[in-house]
Structures are given as structure tokens and as C-alpha cells.
Homo-oligomer: A and B are copies of this chain.
Amino acid sequence: MPAKEKQSIAIKAAEPAYLPQLTLDCIVLGFHQDQLRVLLLRWKGTQEWSLPGGPIQQSESVNAAAYRILKERTGLDQIYLQQFQVFGDLVRYNLPEIKTKLQHLINPELWYNRAVSIGYYALVEYSKVNPTPDLFTDECQWWEIKEIPNLLFDHNQIVEAALQALRQQINWQPIGLNLLPEQFTMPELQRLYEAILNRPLDPRNFHRKILSLNILERFPERRKGGAFKSPYLYRFNQEKYEAVLQEGNLSFL
């Protein structure tokens, strides 16, 4: 038996409870103080950060694994989760470098030569998240999208791909129900869209188009606070929101 094959069997024997060579990566996005933020983990005894994720148990579905990981890292049960891309390139990152950086935590011989990762993004309400590190990490923390450091593995590319997928999605599906507090103002909703698209939008056009989706309910009174022109408060009509989410909001045809 070739040495390489022996090694891979040894690894399989060491991790019989997980699907081999397959992992999940989760981009958990929150919105706070007008900034889009992502949840990152710092590996024990290092200044190296990466996305939450991990392998899939033989006894759980792929989606269940994603919900489990998100529950473990955020404390949240009901999360909006979107599978968006499989990362299956032959060489996704510099494996020898990773083995060296993390050898105090993971026996270098236990790494597969290659793994395929399934990417999920999750949209969560920032204030409800309780960031929690995992077995390999010391810290779990929100980072502003604009300030993300160099991440381990190919995780910078995965974040970028998730944002691109999200930008496509908002072309035909509403967004906000999971990212904003229950009540919000029109400018707050606009700033969420601007943060995702990474460009300014015209307020009047935004107002008109978002109302035309018919998914918002306006409260009769303006936000309290005594300012000269306090904005109205809105909330999503969950039923209509879900319906538009199903159908797509932009029926070209």
C-alpha cells in the first residue's frame, strides 16, 4: 500500500465520526452602527483569525451541521441561513503553512491533503448574538467587514464570495428581517442596503422602491425624541415578507 494511502486511512480511523474531506464555513453577518460585521474566531495562542465552521458528523445532515455550528458560536436557534457556494479547488490555500501555524493545536499528520468546503451565510440580529469560541479558539468577535484581517485558509475569498452572493440575492429577494431590530426607520433600512452594496443609494428612489414591495408596515407615530423631523418607524410584515422571499420580488416576466 502506498504511504500516502496508509496516511489517509490513519486519518479516517482518527475521525470516523465525520464526513471525510468535507467541511462547512459560515459567514455570520450582523449590522450595527451602520456597519456590516462578520463573526470571526481567533485560534488559541495565536493572532490568527478564521471563520466559524467545521466538519459534518456522519449522523447529521449538512444543513443540520450548519445550524449546529451557528448555535454553538452565536447562541441563536432561529437563524436565516443560505447555502451559497461550494469551494472545491484542488489547492485552496497553503497547507504546509497552516500546518505549521497550528501545529501546537492540531497534529500536522491529521490534516487531509485536501478538503471541500460548503459555504453558508447567516443573517443575524447583532444584539442577540452571544459570540462564543470553539475548542480550537480563544476568542469569537465581530469585525467590521472593511477591517477584516488576513484570515487563515481561503477565508478572505470565502467572505468576498458570500458578499457577492448576498448582493445578487438582494436584486430579487428582500433583506432586513434578520439583520435589523424589529422596529427601524427608513434611513436605517437604507444604510443596511448601502452597507451590503457598498455604495450610496438615492433616498427618494430607495423609499419609493422599497415601499412598492409592500412588505413594510409603518407605525402611526414618529420615533420619539423631540427632534425637528423625527422619522417614522417601520416593521416588516412577516407574512408578506416570506411570500416575496419565496416568489422573488422582481418578477421580470
Residue numbers of A with Cβ under 8 A of B are: 1, 5, 8-9, 12-13, 16, 19-22, 56, 58-65, 83, 85-86, 88-90, 113-114, 116, 118, 168, 170-172, 193, 197, 201, 205-206, 209, 248-253
Contact = CB atoms under 8 A, between A and B. Distances in A.
Contacts of A1: 13
Nearest to A1: B13
Contact of A86 (B62, B250, B252): B62
Nearest to A197: B253
A91 to B, nearest CB: 9
B253 A250 contact: no
A87 to B, nearest CB: 8
A168 to B, nearest CB: 6
Contacts of A9: 9, 12-13
Contact of A253 (B13, B59, B206): B206
A12 B197 CA distance: 45
Contacts of A172: 168, 171-172, 250, 252
A88 B56 contact: yes
Given A22-B22, A62-B116, A116-B22, A251 B171 contact: yes
A252 B253 contact: no
Nearest to A86: B118
Given A5-B13, A171-B172, A193-B253, 14 more contacts: A9-B12, A19-B114, A20-B21, A22-B22, A62-B86, A63-B89, A65-B88, A168-B248, A171-B248, A171-B250, A171-B252, A172-B250, A206-B253, A250-B250
Contacts of A88: 56, 61-63, 65, 118
**From A1, A85, A250, residue with most partner B Cβ within 10 Å:** A250
B58 A209 contact: no
A18 B134 CA distance: 31
A89 B61 contact: yes
The 4 A-B residue pairs with the shortest CB-CB distance, nearest first, are A62-B88, A171-B248, A171-B172, A61-B89
A90 B252 contact: no
A19 B168 contact: no
11 contacts: A5-B13, A9-B9, A62-B88, A63-B89, A86-B86, A88-B118, A171-B250, A172-B172, A193-B253, A205-B253, A249-B252
